[in-house]
Amino acid sequence: MKRAMREIIFDTETTGFDPASGDRLVEIGCIELINRVPSGRTFHAYYNPQRDMPAAAEAVHGLSSTFLKDKPLFASGVDDLLAFLEDSPLVAHNARFDFGFLNHELRLCGRADVSMTRMIDTVAIARTLHPGAKHSLDALCTRYGIDRSHRIKHGALLDAELLAQLYIELTGGRQIGLGLAQEEEKAATDGELGAGAMVRPVRPARVFTASAAELERHGRFIATLDKPIWLEEAQPG
């Protein structure tokens, strides 16, 4: 039996841009995908950074020092976080930033880094697919028609939810129509659809094999061609 593919979409909020200068992680949000479909399992936590919150950072995510002062330290919740992450690939937008803060916090509490080989960066994917375009989360959500009207400020879990939708689109999208007719027919049979619900008719698969008459017409057409190139290429050199 083929093993299900598990991936974790995650986002972080921080006090700034550089953990080496004392900035800390204050929020993390994670979404579990199984075979590129959200499973419904999430992980979300706020952390006390044990330092002040710069006004510029608070303006982005709205997390104040007052709000965070009674939240747990990262070290006290690290086991729950690592248990959720397991050894799955980790997907983030501008992932080196999020990996940098996550690994900094892990080192501060004596834990091993999360390997960079687990990193999947949606910015890198977007740059390959759309060179020269804007690659911010907002710009890509607009490009792919992902509703972000409820995103007033940045939030780790909200941004992870948006990123999960974006990642699915960047990697081919979900073919939600596959099997839909059969599911509707079963729902109607089982009485799961409400009164008056419309069920699309299930049509037989179309046949694309050429008929004998079509093959005969094709053969007559080929016979009229003067020195077709594929026959010339077939001659010995």
Among all residues, which ones are annotated catalytic?
154
- Please check whether residue 117 is in contact with residue 103, taking contact to mean a CB–CB distance below 8 angstroms: no
Q: What are the φ/ψ torsions at residue 121 (nearest 5 degrees)?
A: -105, 115
Q: What are the φ/ψ torsions at residue 214 (nearest 5 degrees)?
A: -65, -40
**Euclidean distance between the first and the last CA atom of the chain, given in angstroms as a whole number:** 51
- Cα 88–131–16 angle (5° rounding)? 55
Mapped onto helix, strand or coil, the DSSP state of residue 32 is strand
- CA dist 97 and 162 (Å) reads 18
Structure tokens at 39: 């499973």
